[in-house]
Amino acid sequence: MKTIIIGAGPSSLMAATQAIKNGCEVILYEKMKTAGRKFLVAGDGGFNLTHDGSFDDFVSYYSHPQIANIIRQFTNDDLISWLNGLGIETYVGSSGKIFPVKEIKPSMVLKTWLQYLKDLGVKFVYNATLEDFSLDEVVIKTKAGIEKHQFDHLILGLGAASWPKTGSDAAWVSLFTAKNINVVPFQASNAGVNCALPSEFLKEFQGAVFKNVVVSHDGIHRKGEIVLTNYGIEGAPIYYLNPFIRKNLLVPIYIDFKPNFSEKEIIEILKNCKNTSEGFKKLKLPIPFVSWCKSFLTKEEFLSNGIIAKLVKSFPIQPISFRPIDEAISCCGGVSWVELDENLRLINYPKISIVGEMIDWDAPTGGYLLQACFSTGFVAVNHDL
């Protein structure tokens, strides 16, 4: 059986892994000079390969219920066992994120995996771009010119639209649209949020980190660390809240700087201090918060323990928009589920499967993105047995 895979991201590499194990002839084409560029970028930022947790909890982090059926067939535990088999030991970080052990660098994970695939007989062709496809023929542009290949199974793992310099530039969308394949428009996800904060304030305090805060939006809460930037805020809780913020940008984001204290307790602490400044020190409030209060409150407001306590517990920040898609960690949008059967084959092109971020799903960072990529790659091929 001849399996052609296009794109050399983690979803395609997992599809190649399963296809070669199933005894298929596997050729993988990639338009860049090397494989897994975005995978390596993910490595720079922490490299959460997956996340700890029970199946039900795990799949609750995904936007689309179809993903549950995909992950069920190749779970976080399956991924860890598979990585261990490759010689990549993992550990669970304090937040539940699963990383390769410290001495194994992201580039080593990729190198080991690629070597394993080569040893099993997967053929890699770089500088090779998908140009077109029909029911059983694919057109690829290589350095040598245009090539046409027949296939028994074509797997497309061309990625989404963020970080286009890694090769995932979503140029394939126009090809799909021309073939009447429904693609939900891409939008930035796991992205920072532009906020209506005074520019002089942002300029002065960009880079400030607020640890152990609770960020809320429209009744949804997330604890963690956020960073003030020159445009607004970013960080894991903000990324988690992205889908909710996207639904209603008019609703403010609230930061609770002291989640372990009630408003009443904060008022008590402030009351027992000589003045508000001593109260700020006692509560160990971050300097940007203190500066904001000093600059933007009236004297009466600044001296009111009630107003300060309210701001400590629920400091409002108005979101304006998301950062551009180029900067986002991932995207929502992609090939619509209505185009796919349960094995991720295109209904109107039954010999063609779609894997990874090309499909319309969304999840927070922390290993959920890569797990879905690995699982879709697994599922696309598993039924070829």
Residues near ligand FAD (CB under 6 A) are 6-12, 29-32, 37-39, 41-42, 45-48, 129-130, 157-159, 162-163, 167-168, 171-172, 329-330, 356-357, 365, 367-370, 373
- 364/369 Cα distance (integer angstroms): 7
In 3D space, the residue among 308, 288, 283 whose CA is nearest the CA of residue 298 turns out to be 308
Nearer to ligand FAD, 128 or 215 (CB): 128
Give me the least distance between CB of 71 and ligand FAD, in Å please. 13
Nearer to ligand FAD, 42 or 293 (CB): 42
Residue 246, number of CB atoms within 10 A of its CB? 18
Give me the least distance between CB of 376 and ligand FAD, in Å please. 8
Give me the least distance between CB of 204 and ligand FAD, in Å please. 27
User: Do 6 and 157 touch, CB atoms closer than 8 A?
Assistant: yes
Half-sphere exposure of residue 115: CA atoms within 13 angstroms, side-chain side: 8
Nearer to ligand FAD, 149 or 310 (CB): 149
> Could you give the dihedral angle defined by the CA atoms of residues 108, 111, 113 and 114, in that order, rounded to the nearest 10 degrees?
170
Give me the least distance between CB of 223 and ligand FAD, in Å please. 19
Give me the least distance between CB of 147 and ligand FAD, in Å please. 12
Nearer to ligand FAD, 173 or 213 (CB): 173
Give me the least distance between CB of 259 and ligand FAD, in Å please. 25
- 12/102 Cα distance (integer angstroms): 26
What distances in angstroms separate CA 129 from CA 14, 133, 166, 171, one per listed residue? 20, 12, 14, 10
Give me the least distance between CB of 287 and ligand FAD, in Å please. 28
Strand partners of residue 182:
none
What distances in angstroms separate CA 236 from CA 31, 173, 196, 341, one per listed residue? 31, 29, 20, 33
Query: Which two tokens mark 366?
Result: 């922390």
In 3D space, the residue among 111, 176, 209 whose CA is nearest the CA of residue 333 turns out to be 176
Nearer to ligand FAD, 50 or 276 (CB): 50
Half-sphere exposure of residue 277: CA atoms within 13 angstroms, side-chain side: 3
Give me the least distance between CB of 93 and ligand FAD, in Å please. 11
Nearer to ligand FAD, 169 or 263 (CB): 169
Give me the least distance between CB of 323 and ligand FAD, in Å please. 12
Nearer to ligand FAD, 188 or 369 (CB): 369
What distances in angstroms separate CA 109 from CA 20, 80, 94, 163, 219, one per listed residue? 19, 13, 22, 21, 39
Nearer to ligand FAD, 9 or 232 (CB): 9
Q: Which residue is nearest to ligand FAD (CB)?
A: 167
- 159/141 Cα distance (integer angstroms): 18
- What are the two backbone dihedrals, phi and then psi, of residue 19, each rounded to the nearest 5 degrees? -65, -45
Query: Which two tokens mark 162?
Result: 């963020």
Nearer to ligand FAD, 279 or 366 (CB): 366
